[in-house]
């Protein structure tokens, strides 16, 4: 079979399985998830042996140590995967929820019932634990899933899928509900993205290049997230101690993630008092400051920012800093350079806070809190399958509910339309 035929056949099988998975009871889904957790534990040495093959190949290929680290299914990562499965079991099942039910003037009763999306295609890089996390969330939401991980993790991903599929079979559930694409050819992705008859949603997770490729080649709806260029605006009325703590947390606590703080905007009225205090703390934490002209004048250690710094996701201990005239100037800067991920204002001014919350277009908008809270777990979604920075279907962290949709249901008593 050609790659195209292989992928198509997998998708056809996934669609068939999706119908069966959609009508499983919550108890059935939780039971198989529990069995998966047990099986991952029982088969840890097999999985780690397959993972070792990927690690050896990765080393031979000269992968960077950070990449090898992300690839490794250590005991700790295995335990986290298994713990994640148990957390998914504990989450409420979104399927079957009925809402907005009411009688219409015609006499029919109309409402909405939450249902699974169907088949989800997940395209991701590196970390093999995504295989288990994503499969568990999709299954709990009643969906089938086709997984296409990075080529460097192929043995790990196939081993994990095998263990998950055995658990499905043991519960008499069609194993095609969770499938890992067994080829590392790039062509497999292109084929997958054409199957709009079989696949309902594509979720890419990885670098900007992968996400652009998926987005430009897909006929299937894509929930995507390019990057997180998160801003924080320190208003004239901000409490300095609060602003300092929130900025440090946003920049330093975990600089390599998408909800880290990248650009600071400071109201001109407090710049002279605030920036030297901040600079001392940032420099002590090893943060490089790239400032506008006014910032550099106030902070001798700052480097001059270039135009390339404003739209940049540094993912590193670097912070761009700009002095702005007022709230409107701050919001205009965010409109121009923001990535619709997370934007924060630190203020004691009620009206400014309300305007910022209402007017800033981002998937998460905050007053007086760290950008680092932009996360499915912190927002109460339970677990997160990704973050969407496009507005259709879901905007922001996506949990189980975002893996479902709602249909209309109608209870009549013989009504006809006149």
Summarize as ranges the residues that interact with a copy of itself (CB under 8 A): 19, 22-23, 96, 102, 104, 106, 108, 110, 113, 115, 117-118, 196, 200-201, 215-216, 219, 221, 239, 241-242, 245-246, 248-249, 253, 335, 357-359, 361-370, 372-374, 378-380, 390-393, 395-397, 405-417
Cα separation, 234 vs 76, whole angstroms = 39
Cα separation, 122 vs 142, whole angstroms = 15
Q: How far is the CB of 13 from a copy of itself (least distance, A)?
A: 15
Cα separation, 138 vs 185, whole angstroms = 25
Q: How far is the CB of 119 from a copy of itself (least distance, A)?
A: 10
Q: Which is nearer to a copy of itself, 306 or 415 (CB)?
A: 415
Q: How far is the CB of 115 from a copy of itself (least distance, A)?
A: 7
Q: Which is nearer to a copy of itself, 293 or 359 (CB)?
A: 359
Q: How far is the CB of 366 from a copy of itself (least distance, A)?
A: 4
Strands 109-116 and 98-103: antiparallel
For 30, 43, 120, 121, 171, the CA distances from 167, given in Å and listed in that order, are: 12, 12, 20, 21, 7
Q: How far is the CB of 73 from a copy of itself (least distance, A)?
A: 27
Closest CA to 260 of 227, 234, 284: 227
Q: Which is nearer to a copy of itself, 65 or 102 (CB)?
A: 102
Q: Which is nearer to a copy of itself, 36 or 319 (CB)?
A: 319
Q: How far is the CB of 289 from a copy of itself (least distance, A)?
A: 20
Q: Which is nearer to a copy of itself, 56 or 410 (CB)?
A: 410
Strands 119-124 and 303-304: unpaired
Cα separation, 74 vs 283, whole angstroms = 34
Cα separation, 397 vs 223, whole angstroms = 11
Q: What's the number of CA atoms in the CB half-sphere (13 Å) around residue 268?
A: 10
Q: Which is nearer to a copy of itself, 239 or 303 (CB)?
A: 239
């Amino acid at each position: 079979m050609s790659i195209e035929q292989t992928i198509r056949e997998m998708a056809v099988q996934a669609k068939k399985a999706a119908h069966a998975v959609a009508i499983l009871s919550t108890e059935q889904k939780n039971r198989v998830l529990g069995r998966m957790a047990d099986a991952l534990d029982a088969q840890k040495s097999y999985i780690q042996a397959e993972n070792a093959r990927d690690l050896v190949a990765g080393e031979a290929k000269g992968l960077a140590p950070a990449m090898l680290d992300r690839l490794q299914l250590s005991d700790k990562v295995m335990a986290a995967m298994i713990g994640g499965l148990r957390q998914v079991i504990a989450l409420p099942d979104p399927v079957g929820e009925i809402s907005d039910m009411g009688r219409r003037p015609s006499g029919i009763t109309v409402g909405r019932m939450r249902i699974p999306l169907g088949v989800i295609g997940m395209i991701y890089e590196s970390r093999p634990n995504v295989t288990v996390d994503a499969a568990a969330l999709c299954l709990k939401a009643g969906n089938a899933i086709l997984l296409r991980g990075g080529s460097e993790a192929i043995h790990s991903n196939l081993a994990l899928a095998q263990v998950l599929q055995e658990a499905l079979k043991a519960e008499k559930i069609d194993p095609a509900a969770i499938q890992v694409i067994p080829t590392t050819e790039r062509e497999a992705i292109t084929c997958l993205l054409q199957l709009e008859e079989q696949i309902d949603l594509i979720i890419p997770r990885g670098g900007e290049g992968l996400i652009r490729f998926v987005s430009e080649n897909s006929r299937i709806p894509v929930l995507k997230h390019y990057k997180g260029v998160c801003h924080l605006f320190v208003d004239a009325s901000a409490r300095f101690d609060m602003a300092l703590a929130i900025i440090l947390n946003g920049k330093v606590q975990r600089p390599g993630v998408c909800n880290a703080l990248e650009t600071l905007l400071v109201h001109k009225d407090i710049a002279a008092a605030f920036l030297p205090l901040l600079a001392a703390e940032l420099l002590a934490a090893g943060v490089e400051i790239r400032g506008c002209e006014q910032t550099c004048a106030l902070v001798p250690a700052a480097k001059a920012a270039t135009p390339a710094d404003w739209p940049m996701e540094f993912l590193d201990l670097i912070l761009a800093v700009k002095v702005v005239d007022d709230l409107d100037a701050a919001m205009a800067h965010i409109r121009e350079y923001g990535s619709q991920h997370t934007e924060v204002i630190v203020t004691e001014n009620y009206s400014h806070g309300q305007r910022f919350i209402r007017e800033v277009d981002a998937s998460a908008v905050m007053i007086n809190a760290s950008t680092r809270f932009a996360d499915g777990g912190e927002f109460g979604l339970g677990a997160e399958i990704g973050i969407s920075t496009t507005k259709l279907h879901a905007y922001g962290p996506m949990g189980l509910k975002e893996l479902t949709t709602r249909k209309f249901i109608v209870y009549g008593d013989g009504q006809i339309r006149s």
